[in-house]
Structure 1
Amino acid sequence: MSGSVPATGRPAPVGWDEAREAAHRAATPLRARQVPVAAALGSALAEPLHALVGIPVADRAAMDGYAVNGAPPWTVVASVRAGDGVPEPLRPGTACEIATGAPVPAATHAVLPYEHSQRVGALLSGDVEPGRHIRRAGEQCVAGEVVLAEGSVLGPAALGLASALGHDTVLVRTAPIVHALVTGDELLERGVPTAARVRDAIGPMLPGLTGWAGGRFDGITRLGDSHELLASALETIDADVVLVSGSSSRGPADHLRAVLEELGAELVVDGVRCRPGHPQALARLPGGRLLVGLPGNPLAAYVAFLTLALPAITALLGLPLPELEPGPALSGHESGHGSATRLLPVRVRGGELTEVPHSGSAMLRGVATADALAVIAPTGGVRLHPLPGASTGPGS
């Protein structure tokens, strides 16, 4: 797609890869700000994280025991715990009782663990290897070294690392705020579905999908099939990304495109040549907010989130568009499907793909048990799209 087109001149449906790229281009990285390390969970670094000091700062004991100098036996002349400061240097034939994490005295040859030592009064003996059980200064990193690249998403371990390196704050792009509008007169929020009413299966998916993508889910607003209600909601919701489920096709209850035109929105993607999920949309609302229109069928909505919402959230975090790993051929789909990209739930076992049953546009049973989505190009090539709960993915 060469560029976005105003809603009054609707763009033609685009290919699946083209749609992902358009969604990524449509989002501008959020403004960076300094936040306390403890408040940065899930945010993306807006600059590389450097080590303010080497870790460890000094040679430290890796075990509880004795720092020793020379050959046994040794005379225990001191004792040091973590936080006591650096003890006096050891002379040959002497030892210092030491706790894990405490700085070792200068001239320490090794640390002898308690369980490998024999001590009678001040006299100590045991077998040691030179340099054993000592954490050397700078062995994890040296001062000034880049330990996390710009764009790294900060998980619990990364926050601990930043703190250990001496950082009180970090410069990050905080998680984009995502709000969902779930539309449909037929939807039940609770209870058993009937012939006339169905349970909402899309709303419960969106918080998890958003968190996995790196966004912060702000909540769900439920609307009936109403042009006026949808327009009012879109004018008032304050979020970086607004998800609208249902109302994205062209039936009598589908008001999204008319509302977007009325609001003066810029329609960037209007339909994607993929199955399922063709009637999805991406628009830029006045003021810069992004809107992703999700089809009303659950698996189609799931696919549309991965196609448009995931790349947009990724770009807001200042991250590159996730690349997909190539996969083996999938039996029955070697030649592709004309002009449409197929996205099929699959299991991955022993380097082979098996299509999961129950993978129709309205079905979640298949994808709920899948390892990945097989992205089958119109020409038949296969790539694998990770899913939440798999070992890899945007939020991992």
Structure 2
Amino acid sequence: MDTKFTNQPTRVITIGLNLNDPHFDYSIKELNALAQANHMQVVTTVTQKLDHPFAGTYFGPGKIKSLKEIAEAQKAQYIIVNDELTPSQIRNLEKMTGKDIIDRTGLILEIFANQARTKEAKLQVKLARLEYQLPRLRTSASVRLDQQTGNGGGYTNRGSGETLLEMRRRTLGRQINNIRHHLKSVNKTKKVQSHQRKKMTIPTVALVGYTNAGKSTILNQLVKRWGTNESKRALVKNMLFATLSTEVRKLTLPNNRKFLLSDTVGFVSKLPHELISAFQSTLSEAANADLLIQVVDYSDPNRQLMMKTTMKTLKKMGIHGIPMITVFNKADKVGKHYPVQEGNSLIMSAQDPTNRSINALVKMIEQRIYRNYITVNLVIPYNQGQIISYLNTHADVLKAKYSAKGTQIKVNLPKPMLDRISQYQI
């Protein structure tokens, strides 16, 4: 059930089972942050410590009775559960508490639905929600259609009709197939665009990491300094999942070196598997990147858990073997000296007023994505002006002068580019 955006947040209670999980407190804290991101006010949190959930009700019967009383006293409209529940658990909890139940997966899907802006993101979210809803269709809908048509319910047609539940399942199945078909078309277009960028030999860098770690802020700082279109900034909000769509920006450094930078959707623990598959195409920029930058909130005491979540999610999506820089952002919040580089890690602040943090990050990026570039001397005939234009756009032209044979240039470029014009090398 979708929450409606009004001036007053929806009052909710969050609940969770502690199954001897050392990270349980953080998980509940994150659940409350997710609820707030969905314009909800968490009025209280109810937890229970058990060895395993009750099969049919999640909580024990005594705790459910207490939960019902608390929900009524607090005038809560929803109960948000810290785990993904089975359809029967949701039904039983709703019946016993008299409140609508939203599990963690349903909450995350609802946030994504409210935050999606592009056509692709909306399709992906709709697909994920339909796949989540399909096994949760209520059995109360199992009423025979032939019993509602007024045909008398005679012996000849008894049991032959289609139930409302079966009809709804077929309808959802058709919608899922239609959306998958549309997304295939979108994915084909994105693959063509990605292939064209690869042909241009412009290196690609992707920002990945936990939601609300500061990826979009870093992208905006880089665009402000070196972007080709400064007005194209990414949305920045102090909330989970402020960015759902992949943002790609072209950056040009003072030495004319260029690279593409993408800001991808943030991760969260217990990310629904429906979204992992649905957002496979959204994260294609990360899968095809020459370098990944994992952005970590250095001020969060749970940062190690966040890093594990990020790496686990990347692995689930088949993204591995790509060089990575780890950026520990928001060092200013804990009074840590910055910027400090240690190997492939950088402690920094995207809000650094001196720009030293961003400069240090760009230097690290440049050292890694241009590692395989080579410097050569070329003589380009005057009738091959398009090659000069191409090199000026896509390579680092260090020196140029004119001679009787043509334009003599010293250029820094990737080897695949040289292979196409090697006949002009001297």
Q: Which has the higher contact order (CA 8 A, sep 6+)?
A: 1
TM-score tier by shorter-chain length is under 0.3
Q: Which one has the largest radius of gyration?
A: 1
- TM-score, normalised relative to structure 1: 0.28
Structure having the higher strand fraction is 1
- TM-score, normalised relative to structure 2: 0.26
